Structure 1
Amino acid sequence: MEINDLTPAEHRVWRAFATGTEVDLRGPDPDSGPEQRLRAPVLRALLLNGPREPGEIAALRLVGARVTGVLDLRNATVDSVVRLLRCRFDSVPRLSGAQLNYLNLSGSELPGLAAARTRIDGSVRLTDCRISGPVHLAGAQIAGALFVDRADIAADDPAQPALQLNQISIDDDLCARGLRTRGLIRLDGASVAGSIDLEEAELHNPGGHVLDGESLDVGANLLGRRMRAHGRIDLRGARIPGRIDLLYATLSAPGDTALRASSCAIGEMLLRGGPPVQGRLNLRRAVIDQLHLEPEMLPTQVRLLALTYTFLTPHEPAERRLPMLERDDGAFDPHAYEQLTAAYRNTGDDRAARLVQLAKLRRHRRTLPWYGRLWGRLQDAAVGYGFRPLRAAVWLLSLLAAGSVAFALEHPRALKAAEAPEFDPVFYTLDLLLPVISFGQESAFAPSGWHRSLSYVLILTGWILATTVVAGVTRTVSRQ
């Protein structure tokens, strides 16, 4: 392009490029005259074949320009800094396959951005941008960080992602504080060496996904404090060795899964302080070292099959944690109860651990046939499946008192009067109740009438109590 073909504004930019001088074209109205307008082909020619001066670093530094036409840098190599602040683009910049040194479009307005498979040796800044179409950075390689703080991005087609970052590789952080999107953010297969910061972000796509991070690989943390997500978040298979911070977050996907973190490997997960999750919470097969889970945030449906965690905070009574296990709409999962039991034992709360084990046996009882349920109810009523052994003593003392009084009022007939010992109603009742101990009373006397029925009841009850106590003790010993 000949320099004689340039407008005054373009000529000014052309001369400033060689020394990297910033050109501010802001005026009262960017549409009022040609002094703010720059043709995209001029910028392309400048970036590819612009003037250079010895000892100076060439750079395109613009503020407040209106870029007309298509800025087409597909598969180009640009070794100078590109810094276009608070600019306005009439067409979508095409950067797919390009190799850039640094890209800063902060505060600009764009109808979209096509930069798939782009390689950037520095950072990319889209801070405070207003983008009315999709941002396509799939497969890009960014040696620095990606900044989309406070950006407003909307997909013009509901079927297209608003922010397409699948298979992207970022060697630093993905900074998206205060980001506002209307549509899907695709992060599946992405690799971020640092952290992903979505604090105070507003993600809006009711009835669909707001974030698809399947197999996402994060080097540090995923931060979503005070985030508001109206749509489904899918992190299936993600690896986040740091923490997922969802303190004070709002997760809403009525009738769908609000958060899916199944098969994930997570160092620490915080879900506290916000309103109850609207939609399902799916943590199946996830491995989490420390889980900060507030009961008040749990939705009506929670899927915890094969979830593994080491610590569960804040410390809550077992009565407040057990409903979480009842909300899993799948089949009975004893592993979930064992995990909660282990978490209580790690904190030294043996009482809560016993309550969880008791709840597990009661839940398992529902899956048994009628005779198994009947036997389970007997064990529960008698000794609480071995977790409440004092119940057996209460039953034995009650039956001992009733039998002693009944047989004291009317002695049973001696089988051999000459050889029979002196009748003792207390030890006679004990002989009936305790199947493995004999005081010589039961074999010497034979009750009649309703006393015979009472003796049968005492014998049967004694056997049931003895069996349940033995089962409870065996279960306790095996746990220890």
Structure 2
Amino acid sequence: MEITDLTPAERRVWQAFAVGEGVDFRESPDDDPRAGGSWGPERTVRADVLRALLLNGPTRDGEIAGVKLTGARITGRLDLMYGTVEHPLRLRSCHFEETPNLYGAQLRALVLSDSVLPGLTAGTLRIELVLRITCCRITGPVRLAGAQITGAFFVNGAELGTPPAPDGQPAPDAPDAPDPEAAAEAVLQLNHAVIGTDVWAVGLVAHGQVRLNGATVGGQVNLDDAVLSAPGDVALHAENLSVGTDLRAKGLRVHGTLNLSGARIPRHVNFAYARLSHPGGSALRASSCVVGELWLREAAPIQGTVNLRRSQLDLLHVPPEVWPGQVKLDGLTYQRLAPHLPAEQRLPLLERDMGGYLPHSYEQLAAAYRTVGDEAAARTVQLAKLRRHRRTLPPYARIWGHLQDVTVGYGFRPMRAAGWLFVLLLTGALAFALHHPRPLKSDEAPDFNPAFYTLDLLLPIIGFGQESAFAPDGWYQWLSYLLVATGWVLVTTVAAGITRSLSRQ
């Protein structure tokens, strides 16, 4: 392309390129690039001119060449497919008429902040420094699958996709509306991308799916105050995501499924003050994850199911009121729970598990209480586990379970045994004091003692010589049978409780 072919606006850009100077076509700092379709030739630059500059533009010794353009209308397609660009490309507050094609390109830095685009095709893009689409308005898909960015990716404040019309369908006459095929794609595609430092997406608004499947982020992913909306679908698809430090999402609002299955996040996943909503579907799917700490502090009650199956956590910070009506917790392991609450406030969650009775869930909760030294709460959980298990047994086995529960709380309430023994001892002693049983051998029988005779009946493993020497009759005989039977129940249940206690230690 010859310099004589350029318009006055393009000539300014061409001349500024060699020394890396900025060209600002804005009439005021408040110019809205969404109105860029009406900008005249004085603010119009052809994409072919930018391509020629970036690939073969003039340079000057001692100067750092680059495109630094603000407030321009860019016509035609900026096609750098498979190209290698040695100069930084900064196009701020610009209006693109066509989707740039950067597929397979290699760039030093790409800045599109505050611009309006119908889409961005940049799969397998290589960037040495940073990629910024901060505060952009992009109606079509941003295709960055397989991209490699040595620095950070900034998408904070951007709005991606087209908001639906009131009837739930994309407005066909919306400004900058994408084509129907593009509208069906994820609005942000970072699957299998490699980001050297951070993904900065504070305040991002996405009308459609955000995809991070298999992505690797060296630093943190920050979704604070973001809005991800894909009602009835997966709003954030981040299976097997690998993050170097944290996933921050304070104040995040999600309409649809938030899928983190298989993610590896060594420090925090922070959903404090978040709102997760997918009524009738899965609101949070985080199965098979390995996470340091999962926080849902001060979050709104989750609408939809929560799936944490087979995940491993160090800390689970979720107030009871945040959990939804249905959960999936099979195989979930954690070291500690926060905030520390009585077991009675945590146990209802285990009743909501869609997998039914899961002994592991109760054992895990009990172990978490023991970790912080709350043995009383751990016993309460174990007792609740046995009561829940009792519902799965046949009727005859439930009767035995109810008897153990009432008498000594399955061995987790040993003081009940002392109370029952005292009541039975007092009853038997009074009854046999009023009516001595007849001696079997009057010349050999010891002096009758109603208290020790009752103890002989109650405690089958201890003998005081009274039971073998005297034989009650009438209803007193039936009372002796009752004392023997209840004594066996008390002794066996207490022994079971002691055995469980010793095995835990």
Q: 1: CA distance between counterparts of 2:47 and 2:39?
A: 19
Counterpart position of 1:2:
2
Unmatched segments (≥5 aa) in structure 2: 163-177
CA offsets per residue over residues 350-376 of structure 1, 9 Å max, x none?
A: 111111111122222222333332222
Displacement after TM superposition at 1:189 (Å): 0.6
Counterpart position of 1:179:
204
- Of 272, 290, 313 in structure 2, the residue corresponding to residue 288 of structure 1 is 313
SS in 2 for 1:77: coil
The equivalences for 1:312-351 within 5 A come to: 312-351=337-376
Q: 2: CA distance between counterparts of 1:93 and 1:107?
A: 16
CA offsets per residue over residues 135-157 of structure 1, 9 Å max, x none?
A: 00001111111000000001645
Counterpart position of 1:356:
381
Counterpart position of 1:273:
298
Counterpart position of 1:107:
114
CA offsets per residue over residues 417-464 of structure 1, 9 Å max, x none?
A: 333233222222222111122222222222221111111111111111
SS in 2 for 1:355: helix
Q: 2: CA distance between counterparts of 1:33 and 1:190?
A: 41
**Amino acid of the structure 1 residue aligned with 2:94:** C
CA offsets per residue over residues 91-125 of structure 1, 9 Å max, x none?
A: 10111011111100000000010000111111000
Q: 2: CA distance between counterparts of 1:465 and 1:290?
A: 39
- Of 101, 115, 124 in structure 2, the residue corresponding to residue 117 of structure 1 is 124
Q: 1: CA distance between counterparts of 2:202 and 2:498?
A: 56
Counterpart position of 1:20:
20
Pair 1:152-2:162 in alignment: no
Counterpart position of 1:72:
79
Counterpart position of 1:429:
454
**Amino acid of the structure 1 residue aligned with 2:17:** F
CA offsets per residue over residues 380-438 of structure 1, 9 Å max, x none?
A: 11211111111111111111111222222222222223332332222222221111222
SS in 1 for 2:429: helix
Counterpart position of 1:190:
215
Aligned residues: 480
Aligned residues: percent identity? 58
SS in 2 for 1:12: helix
Pair 1:37-2:44 in alignment: yes
Does structure 1 retain, via aligned residues, the 8 Å contact 2:140–2:183? no
Counterpart position of 2:501:
476
Unmatched segments (≥5 aa) in structure 1: none
Q: 2: CA distance between counterparts of 1:259 and 1:330?
A: 17
Q: 2: CA distance between counterparts of 1:194 and 1:70?
A: 33
**Amino acid of the structure 1 residue aligned with 2:235:** V
CA offsets per residue over residues 23-61 of structure 1, 9 Å max, x none?
A: 011137742421011111111111111111111111100
TM-score under structure 2 normalisation? Answer: 0.93
- Of 234, 240, 254 in structure 2, the residue corresponding to residue 209 of structure 1 is 234
Deviates more, 1:122-131 or 1:344-353: 344-353
Displacement after TM superposition at 1:231 (Å): 0.8
Q: 1: CA distance between counterparts of 2:260 and 2:127?
A: 26
TM-score under structure 1 normalisation? Answer: 0.97
CA offsets per residue over residues 181-200 of structure 1, 9 Å max, x none?
A: 01001100101111000000
Deviates more, 1:26-35 or 1:13-22: 26-35
Does structure 2 retain, via aligned residues, the 8 Å contact 1:386–1:476? no
Does structure 1 retain, via aligned residues, the 8 Å contact 2:138–2:160? yes
RMSD: 1.4
